[in-house]
Structure 1
């Protein structure tokens, strides 16, 4: 007859439960997998299957009473660790949204908004286009597979029970500034080109006040803006690939990995 003690049952359950919590926290926030159109059932089943496969290969989990406050805190830690790992990728994806917003403001399309059911907010149409392009490019580069691999490696580099406050949290905060800086660097050529166009119409308005610059300048600015968008796509894949690589590398270093 098979006899198991309460300690053995607790350890057996913890072998699968703690990885499941971290994976679920990552899948809730991770781009594409965390989208509102992906059913929660799919994320739960994916996290459960991965936890079942990874559990026997991971270091032994800490002995924690499953009905104690320590277990609740440990669950919260694992969810937050997975959440923060996926946040690196979310910031990387939103670089493209900021890029589209900056270019829309220069083109005069800032008023053209579309409701995003995923975030519950309205964003420029151009930002939505760049967001879809960045997501598809990230998937084409197998970035989602690399990201899942980093989450799996986190169980070895940062085992369950090691805590959350020892993580380089300031490095995660600095990624917000990196997001704005990366978006600005991508949008800088188009912003400068549109600035030259606006300066040209400003000089034209001063030299020929009789011309209706507003009726002439808006469509010309729109045409030049669309031309800038077209030209931006020529070098955008290479630059965005570097941004994806930086985000994945930062995600790996966040859990103690060496570059």
Structure 2
């Protein structure tokens, strides 16, 4: 007759529960999967399926009583680790959002706001368009599959029970600065072109005060901005591909991997 102790039962349950907590933490915020358009039940089932598939491949999990405070702390710790891994990719896609915001402000389309019912915020239409463009590039590069692979490898590189505060948390904070620098890098050509246009109309307003520069400059600035957007489409994919590689590498190195 098979008899199991409470510790053995907790270990068996933990081999599925702890991986589920980390994976679900990543799926809460990871692009595409963490979007509000994806039902929570689908995310839970997807996380359970992945946890069940990798349960037998994981290193031994710590024997912790499932009803103890240590089990609660371990569950929260795995949720935070998964959340931080998913947040790195969240910053990657929002590079395109900030890029669209910068270009909208330069070309005078910042007032063209569209509400996003999924995320509950309001962004310029150009930001929404660039976000969709960046998402399609990320999918074309199979970035979602690589991200799930890194998430699975995290159990080998950073086993369950490892100290959360031993992770390079300051490097994680620096990724926020990387978000703004990457957005500005993509937006610099358009910003410089729009700056030249504004300087030109400034010179015209000083040399010919009788001209209605505001009536002439606004449509011309918008047309020049749309032209810059059109010209940027040929160069953004290659640059954004490098940013995707950089974000995935940072995600892998965050949990102790070497590239």
Per the normalisation by structure 1, the TM-score is 0.99
State the shift of 1:148 in Å: 0.4
Deviations along 1:203-245, whole A, 9 cap, x unmatched? 0111111110000000000100000000000011000000000
Please identify runs of 4+ aligned residues in structure 1 that moved more than 6 A. Answer: none
Q: Does 1:117 align with 2:117?
A: yes
Residue in 1 that maps onto 2:9: 9
After TM superposition, list the pairs within 5 Å mapping 1:95-114 onto structure 2: 95-114=95-114
State the shift of 1:63 in Å: 0.8
SS of the residue 2:122 aligns to: strand
2 CA distance for matches of 1:106 and 1:257? 40
State the shift of 1:116 in Å: 1.1
Residue in 2 that maps onto 1:189: 189
State the shift of 1:163 in Å: 1.6
Residue in 1 that maps onto 2:61: 61
State the shift of 1:5 in Å: 2.0
1 CA distance for matches of 2:15 and 2:96? 38
Residue in 2 that maps onto 1:161: 161
SS of the residue 2:28 aligns to: helix
2 CA distance for matches of 1:202 and 1:211? 12
State the shift of 1:136 in Å: 1.0
Per the normalisation by structure 2, the TM-score is 0.99
Larger mean Cα displacement after TM superposition, 1-10 or 122-131: 1-10
Deviations along 1:166-187, whole A, 9 cap, x unmatched? 0000001000000000000100
SS of the residue 2:242 aligns to: helix
SS of the residue 1:218 aligns to: helix
CA contact (8 A) 2:7 2:64 kept: no
Residue in 2 that maps onto 1:149: 149
1 CA distance for matches of 2:65 and 2:4? 16
2 CA distance for matches of 1:242 and 1:175? 15
State the shift of 1:2 in Å: 2.3
Residue in 2 that maps onto 1:230: 230
Q: Does 1:132 align with 2:132?
A: yes
Deviations along 1:129-152, whole A, 9 cap, x unmatched? 000110111011100000000000
2 CA distance for matches of 1:245 and 1:109? 31
CA contact (8 A) 2:22 2:82 kept: yes
How large is the RMSD of aligned CA atoms in angstroms?
0.6
> Structure 1: which 5+ residue stretches go unaligned?
none
State the shift of 1:119 in Å: 2.1
Q: Does 1:212 align with 2:209?
A: no
1 CA distance for matches of 2:88 and 2:171? 10
